[in-house]
Amino acid sequence: MKILVVGAGIIGALSALQLRRSGHAVTLIERDEPGMQCSYGNGGALSPDFCVPFALPGMMKRIPRWFADPNGPLFVDWRHLPKSLPWLFEWLRQSKLDKVWHNARAMRALHGPCIDLYESMLGEKAAGLIERGGSVYVWKTPKAGPTETLSRTIRETMGVQVVPLQGRQVQEIDPNLHPSYCNGLLFPNNGHTVNPLRLTQTIVDMFVAIGGAVIRDDVQGPVWKDGKVIGVQCSQGSNLAERMVIATGIRGKTFAAQLGDHVLLQAERGYHVMLPDPGVRPALKISNRDHMFGLAPMENGVRIGGTVEISDPDAPMRPERARSLLMHARAMYPDLNVEGAEFWMGSRPSTPDCLPIIGPSARAPNVLYAFGHGHSGVMASPMTAQLVTALINDAAPPVDPTPYRPDRF
């Protein structure tokens, strides 16, 4: 079949590669350079263990404290609040226990095999790009409370391997970390990519090498004929195809609305600070759970990334959010060299239940959505690409697609 994949972030790129591999004539349409939007600046975590949704019972008790702290992990742009309310209400609804377990299982299905799948999909190109070696959560004080207890139960039930760390055990894992961080959890089966942009670009190169086509253009909407979508209208003309995959990240909502599909998608804007010559490096991917951000040792320096900002994706960035990350990181690694620090902001395409939107449009079943991967698009991408390919080929899906269906809200 002739297939158009719109959006060359990590989701579109890997889906295009897998579709091409299964024999289709695939064209990837991207308005920017491939991989330069959200897939550029993320923390690169590949965490098979990531199966605890953010909406949990008891979470509301933590949120006021985060709001009160100008350097805290959560910021809401009040001007944007009216537009965000339906999403925020649904987020609250998703914190009910039965929904939490449902979402946790669906997260585990997507993320569990991510490293194995990347290695098999990338073959020899995975070497030097995908690193195993684990990741670690650290705290200054042990966190007790309902959300931590539930998180532990979920991980145990899902069979996630976790090693608790106390006191000097934390510094044995990462000798450069300040000794005040004396509680931790080691996830030995996690990993990360050392360069998220190179990961997407490598996949696009592999796609082109096997006959995939890439067009640089801005998709403006569907082309209809006789009640059927037969292609997409771009700024430089129309492109026709039998099937279309919409993998436009946070912009997915626009195309869905043009087809009359209602999806709940909110920009959870996040920031990173890239330190090209950090002096000290974390020994492995590390998450500070007191302030909810992470540091990743990357091939071009150390990346400090995190924070959630509920705002308009097109609003100007707030550099003070990135400066807060830097401040917290220096408390963990006092010898960090911050010279040449670069700030970046990107919009996580987030849904209230922490699950992506993967499946056909209700009005145009030949259009498949693959966006809304929120905090975990890099780790969810291989399974998403497999699922997209199976749905297009009408083959047995690798995981139950029901939890990700576009009309679930």
Ligand X SMILES: Cc1cc2nc3c(=O)[nH]c(=O)nc-3n(C[C@H](O)[C@H](O)[C@H](O)COP(=O)(O)OP(=O)(O)OC[C@H]3O[C@@H](n4cnc5c(N)ncnc54)[C@H](O)[C@@H]3O)c2cc1C
Q: Which residues are near ligand X by CB under 6 A? A: 6-12, 29-32, 37-39, 41-45, 218-219, 247-249, 251, 270-272, 305-306, 346, 348-349, 371, 373-379
Shortest Å distance, C-beta 385 to ligand X: 11
Of 34 and 278, which CB lies nearer to ligand X in the complex structure?
34
Residue 140 contacts residue 196 (beta carbons within 8 Å): no
Residue 337 contacts residue 278 (beta carbons within 8 Å): yes
Of 182 and 198, which CB lies nearer to ligand X in the complex structure?
198
Shortest Å distance, C-beta 183 to ligand X: 22
Residue 27 contacts residue 212 (beta carbons within 8 Å): yes
Cα separation, 261 vs 253, in Å, equals 9
Of 186 and 274, which CB lies nearer to ligand X in the complex structure?
274
Of 182 and 364, which CB lies nearer to ligand X in the complex structure?
364
Shortest Å distance, C-beta 71 to ligand X: 16
Q: Which two tokens stand for residue 193?
A: 């990519």
Q: Which two tokens stand for residue 250?
A: 């946070």
Residue among 9, 10, 16, 85 nearest 245 (CA): 16
Of 38 and 182, which CB lies nearer to ligand X in the complex structure?
38
Q: Where are the alpha helices (DSSP H) in 262-402?
A: 319-332, 377-393
Shortest Å distance, C-beta 166 to ligand X: 26
Shortest Å distance, C-beta 98 to ligand X: 26
Rounded to the nearest 5 degrees, what angle is found at the Cα of 275, between the Cα atoms of 269 and 281?
110
Q: Which two tokens stand for residue 289?
A: 């759970």
Shortest Å distance, C-beta 384 to ligand X: 9
Q: Where are the alpha helices (DSSP H) in 94-195?
A: 97-111, 114-122, 146-157, 168-173
Residue among 221, 231, 226 nearest 254 (CA): 221
Of 158 and 219, which CB lies nearer to ligand X in the complex structure?
219
Cα separation, 282 vs 333, in Å, equals 8
Q: Which two tokens stand for residue 32?
A: 């920017």
Q: Where are the alpha helices (DSSP H) in 112-245?
A: 114-122, 146-157, 168-173, 196-209
Shortest Å distance, C-beta 308 to ligand X: 9
Of 219 and 256, which CB lies nearer to ligand X in the complex structure?
219
Of 24 and 251, which CB lies nearer to ligand X in the complex structure?
251
Residue 18 sits at φ, ψ, to 5 deg, of -70, -35
Shortest Å distance, C-beta 97 to ligand X: 26
Residue 375 contacts residue 350 (beta carbons within 8 Å): yes
Q: Which two tokens stand for residue 122?
A: 């990338």
Of 182 and 270, which CB lies nearer to ligand X in the complex structure?
270
In a 13 Å sphere around the CA of 96, the CA atoms on its Cβ side amount to: 6
Question: How distant, in Å, are the alpha carbons of 79, 88, 409 from that of 84?
Answer: 10, 6, 15
Shortest Å distance, C-beta 229 to ligand X: 15
Of 270 and 360, which CB lies nearer to ligand X in the complex structure?
270
Cα separation, 315 vs 84, in Å, equals 14
Shortest Å distance, C-beta 285 to ligand X: 8
Q: Which two tokens stand for residue 180?
A: 């005040």
